[in-house]
Structure 1
């Protein structure tokens, strides 16, 4: 009877060991827990592929390599060069300046591009009117005042500084400028000269300079008398403005 219990106990122990051994074998070949994916299964492999690495964390040989440059480098490479140069753009380049040779400077009004006439006026008394008309094909500047010499006078006729305009008078082709001449400052004086000719010299941009051109020679009206107390005005854009002095 005792021997039967021993055999029964031994058989139960043997069966338990066999069951434990079978369970261990099932865990080793991956059949146990195969239905639940873990961190190292398909999901983990997908993330590894996105990063271009293998399952061991190293770069895969066939993984595509990114060719995109960092944002800072790309922006530097795509920014056009807007600095100064010798190109045709704006700045100090040859073609970018608005004061370049393509925009000719306005010339001074001189005898070669104008026609000057002399008229005796009834009002105001003892006055002559000079009219200068642009006969050229482009605008010219009537700088300052005409420089007048009566006959063989050594000095330039006085210029009335109070008649200076606010800006230089620019004449488009066909337009005119005007200057009034007061012949005598005192009609009662005996220091008057009878004039027959008037030389009109043109002023340069620098009032002390010379245009280097010949003056216009005009014939004075009959019985014209002048003295050194008279004056000539600056060139005006309006006839009435000239004759107010």
Structure 2
């Protein structure tokens, strides 16, 4: 009888020891081992800005619809966060006005004297942007006509289908004399791209009004929204 009790006691102790060992093993599996730097590896990988996310945060990148900062922060890059253009540079989604999507006409107004009026009308089905000033070449001249900087508008002129943009051509400089004066017969109009560097698209080639006299001081305005604004200069 005493031997049976001893065997029962031993079996009970063994069972309790087995349960205690299993509990310790479960606890070890569910509790992450602390890293030597004091951070939790699992938490660092799952939190925004944690492991693998530091480089994006340092450069100001935002994941999502792309309308926020991208790459370097907008304040340092000077670019619009939503992909749009900066103020005064027009809508980047619109094509520039060129000889392909506009019809150009040059005329001689009664006032002011020694001026021509250049008009381009959008003949397409989509709006276009008249960037900067027209780039003019009289006959076979090598140098483009200078631009009147004071005529720069506050924003790029958007030309709707059927609408027009205007530029005034001053044929001689005020008080500059008749330096290199001559009679011109042809005018080639080149169109500036959004960047303002060089020209883009097809130019327009026009015949000048009879007796057009110009000199080396000739100049042209930026594109304007109305003929009256263009002829102010």
Which TM-score tier does this pair reach, normalised by the shorter chain?
Answer: 0.5 to 0.7
C-alpha contact (below 8 Å) 1:158/1:228 kept by paired residues: no
Q: How far off is 1:238 after superposition?
A: 1.4
Q: How does 1:1-245 map to 2 (within 5 A)?
A: 91-92=64-65, 105-185=93-173, 186=175, 188-189=177-178, 191-211=180-200, 213-245=201-233
Can you give the 5+ residue segments of structure 1 that lack an aligned partner in the other structure? 1-89
TM-score (norm 2): 0.60
Give the count of matched residue pairs: 151
Q: Which has the larger radius of gyration?
A: 1
Give 4+ residue runs of structure 1 displaced > 3 Å after superposition: none
CA RMSD of aligned residues (A): 2.6
Give the structure 2 partner of residue 87 of structure 1. Answer: none
How far apart are the structure 2 equivalents of 1:191 and 1:210?
Answer: 26
How far apart are the structure 1 equivalents of 2:188 and 2:131?
Answer: 17
C-alpha contact (below 8 Å) 2:179/2:215 kept by paired residues: no
C-alpha contact (below 8 Å) 2:176/2:217 kept by paired residues: no
C-alpha contact (below 8 Å) 1:124/1:243 kept by paired residues: yes
Cα offsets for 1:101-132 (capped at 9, x unmatched): xx991100011111110110110000100001
How far apart are the structure 1 equivalents of 2:147 and 2:106?
Answer: 17
Can you give the 5+ residue segments of structure 2 that lack an aligned partner in the other structure? 1-62, 67-81, 85-90
How far apart are the structure 2 equivalents of 1:239 and 1:104?
Answer: 25
Q: How far off is 1:91 after superposition?
A: 3.3
